[in-house]
Structure 1
Amino acid sequence: MTRDELDALSPDEVKARLAAPNRAAFIRAAARAGQADAQAVYGQMLLDGREVPRDEAAAFGWFRRAAAQQHLMALNMVGRCYDLGQGTAVEKARAAECFRVAAARGLPEAMYNYATSLTLGDGVAEDRPAALAWLERAAERGFAKALNFVGQFHEDGWVVERDMAQAADCYARAAEAGDFRAMFNHARLLASAGERHGALAWLRCAGAAGNPRFVGKAAAWLAASTLGADGVAALQEGARRC
């Protein structure tokens, strides 16, 4: 596919073809022709090994190409690659800077990642008040993962006074919005309030939505909790259904 052929497609046609079944050939061609959305999607496919062989170094290169065209999600993913050492050496300061720039330009995922860097002092000076402000901005834009993290601030008393009611509200809303860690946190607080049936139901949801690493860690925690074997069984039942 040439650049002229790509330019002849409407934005809606490009979007549809990027999401279509058997899309890999089109995405690869569009990426090579310089289409930033395709470059970002192709980079993610390579990073995940989804529909193409996994190649972290190639993924990093495609993210960088798209980021050079001001593609914010690609810039965020360049930061993730620096953060995790995927396709490049770990460079926490460069990761934080990528997150900061994409966050400042309005990307909720980058706001969350930059807030995480600020919370941990990872590649940047620790600044939890600033972290909470970024998380709240991301949560206002509907990013459930950030809302769950806001709940953690309230539960742990970071920056703000410890407020379990506020934490519970954040976890509940983030769980309803689909964040699996929030589903687990919501279940945990329901159990502590004696609502065992509701807790087990949300653990099934968390198991279905979560990744294997999360499920393993959550099961270990549950095994030592008041939910015990019932909680582990509910979580694993959800994971099997996924």
Structure 2
Amino acid sequence: MTDMPTQLTTDFDAVLDRGDIAGARRLLAPPLALGCAEALFLSSSMLAGEDDAHAEADSFANLNQAAEKGYIPAIYAVGLCLLTGDRVEQDVSQAAAYFERASDAGYPPAMYEFGLALFHGNGVAKDVPRAVSLIRASAQAGDEYAREFLLAHSLDVGP
């Protein structure tokens, strides 16, 4: 078990890029049966696009279960849901806690989001030096939003 994306995500994305939703479901079925966190996370994105009244709740349940199992992209995604109030009640303090956890694991999008929370004091105590450090690390890891933030605020992007 891993807490970051593996070949399963690459294969899943390739199947979906071909428009083969049935194939994507078949690909996820065996790891889902084993309770694989990555498969739960990937399946949550498929359920979110369905019109079924229960699909949204099932989607978040799978996402949350993947986060509880320690899958870093799911932890980040739950943080986004909490930040925006998507599928759950908005809670910026909880969102920041999820972003911090995923940031501590080195996940660039979470480093950016937690950096923003620290920069603005949104759900956490304001800490601009730490915020800039995290946002810079996120930009250096390839996060374009972090890079744009640094440029917009006339902050050095770094090497």
TM-score tier, shorter chain, comes to: 0.7 to 0.9
Bigger CA radius of gyration: 1
Tell me: CA distance 1:123–1:90, structure 2 relative to 1, closer, same or farther (3 Å). same
Distance 1:57 1:85 in 2: 14
Letter in 1 for 2:43: Y
Letter in 2 for 1:80: L
What is the SS of the residue equivalent to 1:89?
Answer: coil
Distance 1:53 1:33 in 2: 27
Aligned residue pairs total: 143
Distance 2:10 2:96 in 1: 33
Distance 1:148 1:83 in 2: 20
Deviation of residue 35 (structure 1)? 1.6
Deviation of residue 17 (structure 1)? 4.3
Letter in 1 for 2:134: W
- Matched-pair contact (CA < 8 Å) for 1:31–1:38: yes
Correspondence 1:127-166 to 2 at 5 A: 127-154=127-154
Task: Give TM-score, length-normalised by structure 2.
Answer: 0.78
Tell me: CA distance 1:38–1:125, structure 2 relative to 1, closer, same or farther (3 Å). same
Correspondence 1:61-100 to 2 at 5 A: 61-100=61-100
Q: Which has the higher contact order (CA 8 A, sep 6+)?
A: 2
Letter in 1 for 2:84: L
Deviation of residue 113 (structure 1)? 0.9
1:108 aligns with 2:108: yes
Deviation of residue 70 (structure 1)? 1.4
* Unmatched 5+ stretches in structure 2: 1-5
- Percent identity of equivalent pairs: 27
Tell me: CA distance 1:127–1:67, structure 2 relative to 1, closer, same or farther (3 Å). same
The equivalent of 1:5 in structure 2 is none
Task: Give TM-score, length-normalised by structure 1.
Answer: 0.53
Residue in structure 2 matching 1:18, options 12, 16, 25: 12
The equivalent of 2:47 in structure 1 is 46
Deviation of residue 28 (structure 1)? 5.6
Please give the per-residue CA displacement for 1:160-183, whole angstroms capped at 9, x wherever unaligned: 6xxxxx6xxx6xxxxxxxxxxxxx
Distance 1:101 1:150 in 2: 22
- Matched-pair contact (CA < 8 Å) for 1:79–1:98: yes
* Unmatched 5+ stretches in structure 1: 1-10, 155-159, 161-165, 171-242
Letter in 2 for 1:53: D
Question: Which stretch has the larger CA shift, 124-133 or 90-99?
Answer: 124-133
What is the SS of the residue equivalent to 1:78?
Answer: helix
Q: Name the one with the larger helix percent.
A: 1
- Matched-pair contact (CA < 8 Å) for 1:79–1:95: yes
Tell me: CA distance 1:69–1:27, structure 2 relative to 1, closer, same or farther (3 Å). farther
Letter in 2 for 1:122: N
Which aligned runs of 4 or more in structure 1 are off by greater than 4 angstroms? none
Deviation of residue 39 (structure 1)? 1.1
Letter in 1 for 2:71: H
- Matched-pair contact (CA < 8 Å) for 1:17–1:26: no
Deviation of residue 61 (structure 1)? 1.3
Q: CA RMSD in A?
A: 2.2
